[in-house]
Amino acid sequence: MMTENTIGIIVDDDFASKHIPPYPKPSFISFEHPFRIRSILNHLERNNIFKNNRIIKVAPKIVTESILELAHSKYHIEAIKRISNIGGGFLDEDVFVSDDTYALAKKAVGGAIEAIEGVINGRFDQSFALIRPPGHHAFREKASGLCIFNNIANSILYLRKQLKFSQKIAIIDIDDHFGDGLAQFFYDDPSILYFSIHEFDFSGGDLGMIDELGIDEGIGKNINFPVPAGITNSDFLYCLELLDPIIKEFKPELIIVAAGFDMYFADPIGNCLLTSIAYNKFTERLLKIAEEVCKGKISFILEGGYNIIGLPYCVHAVIKALLNEKYEPPEFEKKFSLSDESKREELEKIKNFLMDLLHPLGTQ
């Protein structure tokens, strides 16, 4: 009989209580709140997830500043530390710092490292880091878009430099927004495939377009799939059909999901129409691909997702798929009459155009 997979879930109460936005709503920054994690943990507990003997609760790795320096400039690290030390403040309209921020953002990096390292060394088969603040917009030199340190980039650089793990890694970024910071870290790196599906945002500076394919050695290993606002569950899954051939050709040893859930229909920041079942189906499919190419090694790292009623269901939907157990979406999701007007025609054009660009580069 096949042994059943185990799943590491990285948790820490600080993520559910610290780094509180300085202003309440109405303010954009107030969405990145400890309630996000509190609501997820409550929901998982109510559903007895932590009583399942295949679920391993794990604390974040304790990391030193020298680990942050693998990904970030001393200037950036020191700036966050000092602003935290004086009680916090705004870095710009999209980034706030509180007196807890430096310590919590460092802990978030430790959470991502623990999730990914545990999958690589076989402590568990898959993992989910329930961490915040998110990371995929953070650059080497600066915080950006609610992100302080780049949790995923920092983890990969830790694997490369400290653990001497040199195998190929695929990052799948399903957050509603383009992970500009994360893409930049590995833009010239042929050993890291970055695939992002994100809402196309004209106001965001025209980043995340399909012609941003990487540079030098890394060309063809940065793949952007911008989608129009309002995509549905079936649209989302249609776009991600691309992953099957791309990952099979790239043959990574590990898959990391930048797990943002702000394409959820009720998300206050994203403008898409997904419900939790989309994330369940996506995970089911990705797990199948991962079992074929990399012994099922997948690590989910929480990024965005700001509807605190829906977010816990989305996370639960992913975990149920990893457990290979049936996921039952909540009744309230069915009560919303969401548009099922598919954007298929538009998406097909983008997909074909993207395939044409990738074909000569050998990614597809």
Rounded least distance, CB 99 to Zn ion, Å:
25
Does the footprint of Zn ion cover residue 32 (CB under 5 A)? Answer: no
* 308: its two tokens: 């605190």
CB 260 to Zn ion: min, Å: 5
Which of residues 185 and 261 has its CB atom nearest to Zn ion in the complex? Answer: 261
Residues 101-130 that bind Zn ion (CB under 5 A): none
Smallest distance, Å, CB 158 to Zn ion?
23
Binding residue for Zn ion, selected from 177, 221, 316, 351, defined by CB under 5 A: 177
The identity of residue 16, as a single letter, is A
Size of the site for Zn ion (CB under 5 A): 6
Stretch that binds Zn ion, among 152-160, 233-241, 299-307, 315-323 (CB under 5 A): 299-307
175 in contact with Zn ion (CB under 5 A): yes
Q: Kindly tell me which residue out of 12, 114, 262, 267 binds Zn ion, with binding defined by CB under 5 A.
A: 262
Largest CA distance in the chain: 58
The pattern of x and - marking residues 132 through 171 that bind Zn ion according to CB under 5 A reads ----------------------------------------
Residue holding tokens 């994360």? Answer: 182
Indicate the residue among 99 and 201 with the shorter CB distance to Zn ion. Answer: 201
Dist CA 364 CA 355 (whole Å): 7
User: Which residue from 332, 353, 225 is spatially nearest to 277, judged by alpha carbons?
Assistant: 332
Binding segment (CB under 5 A) for Zn ion, from list 115-123, 175-183, 209-217, 355-363: 175-183
